[in-house]
Amino acid sequence: MSQHIRGRGFRARVSIVAFMIGLGAFFVMRRAYEVQVADHEKYKTLADEQSLRKLRIAPLRGSIVDRNGTELAVSVPVDSIYADPRYFQREGGDPKMAARRLAQILSVSEEILERRLASEKRFVWLERRVLPEQAKRVKELGLPGVSSVEEMRRYYPNRTLAAHILGYANIDGVGIEGLELTFEDQLRGMVRQVPAMRDARGRIVYSDLFVEGAGQAGLDLELTIDKTIQDIAETELALGVQTFEAKSGSVVVLDPQTGEILAMANVPTFNPNAPSSSVAARRNRAITDRFEPGSTVKTFTIAAALEQGTIDPEQLFDCENGQMRVGEDDVIRDTQPHSLLTPGRILAYSSNIGTAKIGATLGREGLYRAFRRFGFGSVTGVPLPGETPGRLTHFGKWYELDAVTISFGQGFATNTLQLAMAMGAIANGGRLMEPMLVRSLRDELGQVVEEYLPRVRRRVVSEETAALVSEMLTAVTGPRGTAEEAAVEGFLVAGKTGTAQKADERGLGYAKNRWVASFVGFVPADEPRLVIAVVVDEPVVAYYGGVVAGPIFRRIAEGALRHLGVLSSDAGSGLERLARAKRQEKDTTKATRTEAQVEEGEPPVVGENEAVVPSLRGLSARAAMRRLAEAGLTVRFDGFGLVESQAPSAGAVVRKSSVVHVKLGRESKPARAGGGA
């Protein structure tokens, strides 16, 4: 009996164990069913969240090239270092120790690295855009969850060249300034969110399937800029600003026939590869800074009067020997006294009084509308951010003095590009063009997606008027003109100087010692290829437009014409030789007379508009320039070093603004004490 009972108990226990095993197997199979079948999508999503993350992968940003295909802005692959802090910690990583080792390689502080590695996030950047050697050294550390991924970095191979035109893109490849900002949508391409998997070491990897849909590359920008001319403009502007100790400067070079901008330069400048410079250095002054243009706009006053028929080309205007009263209290003056002058001579001698009388023939409304037609008071439409429209008050708000001074460039404001475009209308026969900075947008295969063509905004004067004014402007760079220093040997140059006082910052009229010197012109005058506008803000050594901006114009024109292969004309060469011969003859005659007086012990006789040439021997170029500027004279240097000789000689009496030719030599000895500048 007892044996039978024990047998039943054993079977019961076996049954219970079997039941429990069966029940356990049932729950396991049910759970497996739930995970693999019933709740498959739920758990797949959970697993994906742990092993996948969506990364924003920017496509290849379009390049920016000049008119000849030279690269100005490109995107290059670089490594960026990232970490999965949770994986790093789960694998036993020590944030403090790892941060110490990483800080020796990266340019991020140990404290920041430790904080990032100790976070609860699944993804953090440790440092982006590192050098290949840095990425290699990080990999060699073998830290779990720490690795690198390839990104694209914006790179400007020519450093500061065309910086204000290009602007720059930030670390995420987003345009911040310049064309990079204006054409952000076209350059950027299509950005997509790309899934990335982690491998067993926590490193992010992409499958081929993922990479195939990473995004559509951006379009390339082909500019109107010529890299060589841009480089010439920047170099010569920087030299001029440094030489005359100016605050800043800007230059625009364009093709008057098409409106294409060949160069746009500013000083100071910046490097878009490291755009942490001051806001002032990043400002595109050629379009953002407005200034009173001074005598450069006499060109447009006279052109408008000729076009409207209110004056005749041979008509004489009484310039009242340099002073004219306006109203009860105001007087306008010329730098030199003149009596009767034609419009052409008024331009050549830059007479304020003569221009004011010509402007008066148009009336206030006529003068205002003429300036508006030339583009003053409105933006040019150049595809760059921040352009100022300038300032041209409606004629209904002009005071009596405004109606006079606006005709010769005081009381309203423009920018360098506006000034260049207006002069372009004279150079091309009377058509105001839209400025062109972009020629085309191209895809990654080089196919043109969008093309930009020259556009005429409006006709401002007839071809006949434009030709007549162009001829008048050639006298400005000829003998007795205000810009002999802008003359380019072998070419006819048409242009106009500007010397404008700056407004007092306290609103008390004009500042006594703050000036803007400018020159705008075109060359060759008979078949214009280039319009060049030069503006120099607050020069110290000298301030006349012909003295300061004229030489910058000449050097840019010489280099650009040589680059373009433009040959000198016989007419230009002959005119230049004749002008130079007359200047030398006049200087030699007066110098001989003066030297004879000095030898005889007589003091030189100096007229109101004459100057005595100072002794320059042994001085540096800058000291010589300063001394001549103080005497009201200009200079043309030959060579390098210290002054060896000069012509005319020291003591000669010459007309103010005359050119003194100075030969420099490296072997020259400095002047003795008391003879320096």
- Most confident option among 55-69, 353-367, 470-484: 353-367
Q: Tell me: the pLDDT tens digits for 533-585?
A: 999 999 998 889 999 999 999 999 999 999 999 988 654 444 444 444 444 44
Per-residue tokens: 331 = 């007087």
Q: Which CATH code, of 3.30.10.20, 1.10.3720.10, 3.30.1120.10, 3.40.50.1000, is assigned to 601-665?
A: 3.30.10.20
Q: Tell me: the pLDDT tens digits for 297-309?
A: 999 999 999 999 9
Q: Tell me: the pLDDT tens digits for 105-147?
A: 999 999 999 999 999 999 999 999 898 899 999 999 999 999 9
What residues are paired with 326 via a beta bridge?
Answer: 330
| Distance of alpha carbon 78 from alpha carbon 559, whole angstroms | 38
Amino acid at 113: L
According to the model, what pLDDT value does residue 2 have? 54
Higher pLDDT, 157 or 18: 157
Residue 390's pLDDT band (cuts 50, 70, 90): very high
Per-residue tokens: 385 = 């951010």
- Most confident option among 268-277, 403-412, 423-432: 423-432
Q: Is the predicted pLDDT of residue 497 greater than 90, yes or no? A: yes
Q: 549 in the Ramachandran plot: left (φ > 0), alpha (ψ -120 to 50) or beta?
A: alpha
Q: Tell me: the pLDDT tens digits for 144-178?
A: 999 988 888 899 999 999 999 999 999 888 999 99
Q: Is the predicted pLDDT of residue 273 greater than 90, yes or no? A: yes
Considering the domain delimited by 54-223, tell me its CATH architecture. Answer: Alpha-Beta Complex (3.90)
Give the H/E segment covering residue 512: strand 510-523
Over the range 23-35, which residues count as b (16 or more CB within 10 Å of their CB) and which as e? Answer: eeeeeeeeeeeee
According to the model, what pLDDT value does residue 49 have? 46
Mean pLDDT (the chain) is 84
Higher pLDDT, 190 or 576: 190
Q: Tell me: the pLDDT tens digits for 323-348?
A: 999 988 889 999 889 999 999 999 99
| pTM more than 0.75 | yes
Residue 586's pLDDT band (cuts 50, 70, 90): very low
Q: 497 in the Ramachandran plot: left (φ > 0), alpha (ψ -120 to 50) or beta?
A: beta
- Lowest mean pLDDT segment, chosen from 58-62, 132-136, 206-210, 410-414: 206-210
Collect all residues with Cβ–Cβ distance below 8 Å to 354 and sequence separation of at least 6: 317, 319, 338, 341, 343, 345, 346
Residue 608's pLDDT band (cuts 50, 70, 90): low
According to the model, what pLDDT value does residue 600 have? 35
According to the model, what pLDDT value does residue 215 have? 59
According to the model, what pLDDT value does residue 670 have? 37
Inter-residue contact 421 to 254 (CB < 8 Å): yes
**Annotation says 350 is catalytic:** no
Q: Is the predicted pLDDT of residue 26 greater than 60, yes or no? A: yes
Place of tokens 């270092």: 81
Q: 306: closest CA among 478, 467, 482? A: 467
Q: Is the predicted pLDDT of residue 289 greater than 80, yes or no? A: yes
According to the model, what pLDDT value does residue 12 have? 65
The Cβ-side half-sphere exposure at 667, using a 13 Å CA radius, reads 0
According to the model, what pLDDT value does residue 482 have? 80
According to the model, what pLDDT value does residue 152 have? 86
* Per-domain residue ranges of the chain: 2-38, 54-223, 227-568, 601-665
- Lowest mean pLDDT segment, chosen from 278-282, 608-612, 643-647: 608-612
Residues 148, 295, 470, 668: which is the catalytic one? Answer: 295
According to the model, what pLDDT value does residue 209 have? 43
According to the model, what pLDDT value does residue 471 have? 95
- CATH homologous superfamily of 227-568 equals DD-peptidase/beta-lactamase superfamily (3.40.710.10)
Q: What is the mean pLDDT of residues 642-659?
A: 81
Higher pLDDT, 46 or 485: 485
Q: Is the predicted pLDDT of residue 269 greater than 50, yes or no? A: yes
Q: What is the mean pLDDT of residues 604-626?
A: 78
What residues are paired with 550 via a beta bridge?
Answer: none
Q: Is the predicted pLDDT of residue 190 greater than 90, yes or no? A: no
Residue 56's pLDDT band (cuts 50, 70, 90): low
Ordered DSSP codes for 312-369: -TT--EE-GGGEEEETTTEEEE-SS--SEE-HHHHHHHT-HHHHHHHHHHHHHHHHHH
Q: Tell me: the pLDDT tens digits for 235-266?
A: 999 999 999 999 999 999 999 999 999 999 99
Question: 227-568 and 601-665: same fold?
Answer: no
Residue 666's pLDDT band (cuts 50, 70, 90): low
Q: Tell me: the pLDDT tens digits for 201-227?
A: 555 555 444 444 455 789 999 999 999
Question: What is residue 559's three-state secondary structure?
Answer: helix
Q: CA 120 → CA 48, 117, 424, distances in Å?
A: 18, 8, 63
* Percentage of residues of the chain with pLDDT beyond 70: 80
